[in-house]
Amino acid sequence: MNSSPTGVGRRAFLGRTAGVTAGVTAGAALLNTLPTAPASATSRDDASHPVRTQSGLVTGVPAALPGVTVYKGIPYAASTAGENRWRAPQAPPSWQGVRKADTWGAACPQPVTGIAADKVPPLSEDCLNLNIWTGAGSSPARRDLRPVFVWIYGGRNSAMWASQPVYDGANLAAKGAVVVTYNHRVGAFGNLAHPALSSEGGHGGSGNWGVRDTVAALKWIRRNIAAFGGDPERVTLAGWSHGSSFVNILMISKLARGLFHRAVLSAGVQYTKDPALGHVAGGYAQLAAAEANGTAFATYMGASSLSNLRALTADEIVTKVYAQDAPATATNFGNVLDGYVLPKSYTAAMTSRTEYDIPVLTGNNKDENGASPTLTMTVAAYEAYAATTFGAQAADFLALYPATTDAEAAAQYNDYARDEERVSTFLWGTQFRVTAANRSPVHTYWWTHVPPGHDTTNPIEPADGVGAYHGAEKYYLFGNLYGTDRPWTAADHAIADRTSSYVANFAATGNPNGHGLPTWPALRTSKPVAMELGDHFAPLPAADTDAKYAFLKGYLESQATDY
């Protein structure tokens, strides 16, 4: 059965294949007629001026901030229904006259049970659409073109759509970027691999349909974004969690080479031998395993051929995949090492020096990777974990992270998990610079600030009490606190302004630093540090002590499995 995770750390949040919101459970129905939120009443002259794309003319509407226009729901590829299901995205439709881009596009099919109806957009297989925010004075003149920031949503097959308020791009547009968010196929629609699909596609592999949608969106942006004032030669591809895994794949794949020029991997990347990659969104399945899952899926769906599978309705697929008694062996959909979209493993990309050499900004959060402010653990359980995880080095681990009471056990486990996360990110950065011999800078961060209260406007967000959880930095990266209902403080607004300025600078130049901002040093392979963002803005060590760093580095480097 695919069940919803109850935690929000990386291990709990990403270790399963179901929705991210408690209550996203069996028999999820597709909702097709729900209203979307009204556009902002803020006036802007540019909103009514048609912009020419290769498909036709579009007009936008005023965005959430003055001086910014948003264009909603522009198709970048054709419907994925029928014969286009589990095929590469096809060319977008054209239209006559002027298309009013004033309504969010449909999201791709996924479970929505347990999510408030007013938070769910229409769902349809005709879902490959994008949204663009651009500021006043944006011009297609070459000297005036602005950097482009393309965002990929995160999650795990539910609450995955680009129109959530947490992804609103008005603030970054006001800071000089052209922001694009887009919808792509998810779950069975976005990741099904099957021997017949591998044969049909002509590349010897299948799966990764959502990544291929991303390539199609980037190609659309390449052809059209200048009309919105964006520079096709300065495109930042960014995403969190699941979205970060797409960025990671496309830094290896040849399919998007040259279509983006900087990368933001938020919550984030791991060292390529980190055991966490076996169960987080950044991992992948081998093609044979993914095809076996696809074969079992076809049997479970009662389909004897691809045509039978394509004849099923989207509702049938969603309902059965997320049914309470759905077999795990037929409903496990994630990224695939297919030999085409993802041509080689993460380690092989580093060692063969084929990793895309572009500036990278990446980081992780304080309360993920198993860490939690509410963690409880007995000394016995802590010692058993140490023995299972570190084997002969368990005594060394316990000497570095000692615990004699249950409270100490929980606190020491948190300290260890947080250290290991930072060490893993730093080791990835050293691979990028040393193993892959790349010259571009890497800037790493460690997010520590806890968003206040609870956000009911975004179904992917957890309830209170989970600390600086997996993905908590999204609000601040965008600086879009205005679009949500958390009880933001003056400190939150200051943190968001500073963090989003780093992002805007990185999109513009490949360097997050700028006037008035605390200096964020680029990664130096001889100095294991990260930049703390959130409660403070300053470098901090990758681990609390040199001895802890040496131990965790040795542990990660000694792992037998290369991802």
Which residues, including other chains, have CB under 8 Å from residue 540's CB and lie 6 or more apart? 446, 529, 530, 531, 532
For 172-225, the DSSP string reads: HHHTTPEEEEE----HHHHH---HHHHHHHSSS----HHHHHHHHHHHHHHHHG
Closest-CA residue to 100 (of 150, 49, 64): 49
- Give the β-pairing of 360-365 and 51-52: unpaired
Question: What's the order of all strands across the beta sheet hosting 98-100?
Answer: 51-52, 57-59, 98-100
Q: Are strands 442-447 and 529-533 parallel, antiparallel or unpaired?
A: parallel
Identified catalytic residue from 241, 244, 372, 501: 241
Q: Which of 85, 110, 86 is nearest to 18 (CA)?
A: 110
Classify the phi-psi angles of 263: left when phi > 0, otherwise alpha if psi is within -120 to 50, otherwise beta.
beta
> Are 160 and 19 spatial neighbours (Cβ–Cβ below 8 Å)?
no
Structure token pair of residue 489: 């403080």
Examine the residue annotation and report whether 241 is marked as an active-site residue of this protein: yes
What residue has token string 């097959």? 157
Alpha-helical (H) ranges within 251-369 are 287-300, 306-311, 314-321, 346-351
Q: Up-side HSE of residue 225: CA atoms within 13 Å toward CB? A: 32
The answer to whether 552 and 274 have CB atoms below 8 angstroms apart is: no
User: Is residue 62 a contact partner of residue 286, using CB atoms and an 8 Å limit?
Assistant: no
Closest CA to 166 of 453, 480, 472: 480
Helix (H) or strand (E) holding 129: strand 129-135
Q: How many Å apart are CA 100 and CA 398, to the nearest integer?
A: 62
Provide the annotated active-site residues: 241
